[in-house]
Structure 1
Amino acid sequence: MQTTILYIGRDTEITIVMNRLLNARPEWKGICVCTDEEGISICKEQEIDLILLGNGINQEEETQLRNKLLALRPKVKIIQHYGGGSGLLYGEIMTALG
């Protein structure tokens, strides 16, 4: 069974890299977007197991976004991911899902 991971970031290039990394593992389905509106729309339409918040989201935006996402999916786990290697990403995801 695939784990669906939503990444929301502001940097288009990093979002492209995250999409590649998340979808490189057959057990993960990565959906990567650059706007809060896209992320919220996806949460309305699909079951999401984990949400990663990327760089470029300030504290106020993050608080508002978390509140909106949790209102739609109260049990979803939301973690911050600001970069690092793919090993760090894997570790963060496995810890959050564990």
Structure 2
Amino acid sequence: MIQILTIGRHPEILQTVVRLVNNNPDWHCTGVMSDEDAMAAFTSQAFDLVLLGGGIEKQSEEKLCNAFKAHKPGIIILQHYGGGSGLLAAEIYEGLRGVKLG
């Protein structure tokens, strides 16, 4: 199963994204709102992909991306700003293309 960490600043949007990702039986999504929760989750679980939602400040995004890459150099990090479930799934599939998981 592909493990996805989703970070978002808006609770309703984050909840929707997590639900949409979890609709795929091959994916499991963990959603967090704060940088601290993101780092705690990332260092305690084996994620294959990180999904950055809208509302994350540039400084936080850079700090998180650098920390994730330092901890797991091959981590896939995608930005998703909306556009519906079809676009979200396509972005995830594109990000995972050619990646050997597990």
TM-score range, shorter chain: over 0.9
Tell whether the 8 Å contact from 1:4 to 1:28 is kept in structure 2 after alignment: yes
Q: TM-score, normalised to structure 1's length?
A: 0.95
Task: Compare 3-12 and 56-65 and name the one that shifted more.
Answer: 56-65
Map Cα deviations across residues 11-69 of structure 1 (whole Å, 9 max, x no partner). Answer: 01111101111111100001111011111111111110000001111212211111111
Aligned to 1:64: 63
Name the SS for the 1:4 alignment partner: strand
Q: How many residues were matched structurally?
A: 97
Unaligned 5+ residue runs, structure 2? 98-102
Q: Which residue of 2 aligns with 1:43?
A: 42
Instruction: Report the TM-score, using the length of structure 2 for normalisation.
Output: 0.91
2:5 maps to a residue whose letter is L
For residues 19-98 of structure 1, the aligned pairs below 5 Å read 19-98=18-97
Structure 1 residue runs without a partner (length 5+): none
Q: Distance in 1 between matches of 2:47 and 2:14?
A: 17
After TM superposition, the structure 1 stretch with the greater mean CA deviation from structure 2, 79-88 or 67-76, is 67-76
- Cα distance in structure 1, aligned partners of 2:73 and 2:20: 26
CA distance, structure 2, for counterparts of residue 16 and residue 9 of structure 1:
9
Deviation at residue 71 of structure 1 after TM alignment: 1.4
